[in-house]
Chain A
């Protein structure tokens, strides 16, 4: 890749294509995957015409580890979902609360957080949210605080692990951070933030978290009817357990996380032998193609030399170790602010080569990876549209048609945004205190 000290025509062309593609993606004029494909094809064509990008370079820009890790985990969750295991867990957890509204919020939040650490949080809330409304209905409770908590805590839980959130998968893959290393650095920070956010929600929703008038109300759901395929569930859980175990030790065996995910998939396929159509037909191909398109797009900008130029400019702000903490915190807050209003995937894909490029300028980029992961992970909680889980839970609150249960934008900004600021302030303090550990 050429190193330029000034802005060139090629950089301008690549930037224009990227901006045009991102306008299409963020404005939702068309489906984001369609926009990414059009942008990627244009970037390659323009890159070849101006001589800064090739088809070979575009193929190399696609991070196969990220795509296969995502695909593998999608396949596992696609197999797990119809077994009824998630519903069983949700009902059991709800019953453990014995109808206590506050305990119910803590338990449900904990469940979605833990599941979201390993599996896709969108699927988690898709299953938990309607059941939560029904449970709240049975207990004569307003489901609003529970739905908000599930959205926010699933996002927070996903931030803790390498596989919990797509941006983390990309960051881990680009920075060669293994699962255990990711968990040991992010887990404690996210653990503290989890407690603070749950505590915050318990306080701000205290009026809605009082026991219902009907003292006889109970979680009258029969979890024994939830599991439709006990044998399949047991086999899939065994495959998932192998995957989780291997995630913690994959670096010792030099195994890519994507390969680990596919070991689990292969095991699951051998044990369950599912019909192909229900499995492959339900995979979110559009998400995978969207990611590939973004990789090609940003690869073109990188090939033009623009990201190296930006990296060089940013390096001057971060090359002094004393300024590195400030640079990391700025990155965290900017990432969070942008992730609250735009899709955090394109932002992460764009930022990764910029951060990676700083290393060539002698900057210790390790804390910047953590800052980026925290920012894009927590920022989505700031607005109703900041994360897909938020949108799902809001839609569920509207469908419930329970008076006072609808999560409006105003409610989210009054309750969710302050909770996000609290989480980011806590992250800032923890990041500062444990900065040496994070380097």
Chain B
């Protein structure tokens, strides 16, 4: 099976877009991140929900000692106001690395790249342009469909 059959079409992110745009599209398409592209549609990086939340919502010191914090702790979070967070430009939160594959990439290779890069999704590229996203969840669903096709 090739990854081209499993791609989920999503919008891509461009310079000047906001955190709101990213979260809305991620929530709509049920994906963990989106490609950050230039005017020609070439992928320059990615906007990751995990990265946004880690950078903007969680104190670094709380991450290190998360297992030690009491459930009843009065832990004041950083001064994050949702409206301000959603209005933030996404540009400074872009991760330069963006793992890409093509429609012809075998699923096993895709899963291997996910493992290697520590990610749950890959961006599909055709003729140098973004064409969709393949997630681990999408692959899992395809496996559950019980198709006779080999992975």
The answer on A and B forming one complex is yes
Q: Is B74 within 8 A of A130, CB to CB? A: no
As a 0/1 sequence over residues 59 to 80 of chain B, the CB contacts with chain A under 8 angstroms (1 = contact) are 1111011011110111110110
Please, which residues of chain B bring their CB within 8 A of the CB of A396? 61
Number of A positions contacting B (CB below 8 A):
25
Q: Is A401 within 8 A of B75, CB to CB? A: no
Please, which residues of chain A bring their CB within 8 A of the CB of B75? 137-138, 220
Number of B positions contacting A (CB below 8 A):
17
Please, which residues of chain B bring their CB within 8 A of the CB of A138? 73-75
Please, which residues of chain B bring their CB within 8 A of the CB of A137? 59, 61-62, 75-76
Q: Is B72 within 8 A of A134, CB to CB? A: no
Q: Is A131 within 8 A of B74, CB to CB? A: no
Please, which residues of chain B bring their CB within 8 A of the CB of A130? 60-61, 64-65
Kindly provide the distance from the CB of B113 to the nearest chain A CB, expressed in whole angstroms: 24
| Cα separation A130 to B60 with both chains bound (whole Å) | 8
Q: Is A134 within 8 A of B65, CB to CB? A: yes
| Cα separation A401 to B72 with both chains bound (whole Å) | 23
Q: Is A220 within 8 A of B76, CB to CB? A: no
A87 at the interface (CB under 8 A from B): yes
Please, which residues of chain B bring their CB within 8 A of the CB of A93? none
As a 0/1 sequence over residues 393 to 426 of chain A, the CB contacts with chain B under 8 angstroms (1 = contact) are 0001001111100000000000000000000000
Given contacts A214-B74, A221-B70, 18 further A-B contacts (CB under 8 A): A87-B65, A91-B68, A130-B60, A130-B65, A131-B64, A134-B61, A134-B62, A134-B64, A134-B69, A137-B75, A217-B74, A220-B72, A220-B73, A221-B65, A225-B68, A400-B59, A400-B60, A403-B79
Task: Give the interface of B toward A (CB within 8 A).
Answer: 59-62, 64-65, 67-70, 72-76, 78-79
Sample (16) of A-B pairs whose CB atoms are under 8 Å apart: A87-B68, A130-B61, A133-B60, A133-B61, A138-B73, A140-B76, A214-B74, A218-B74, A220-B73, A221-B69, A221-B70, A222-B69, A223-B68, A226-B68, A396-B61, A399-B61
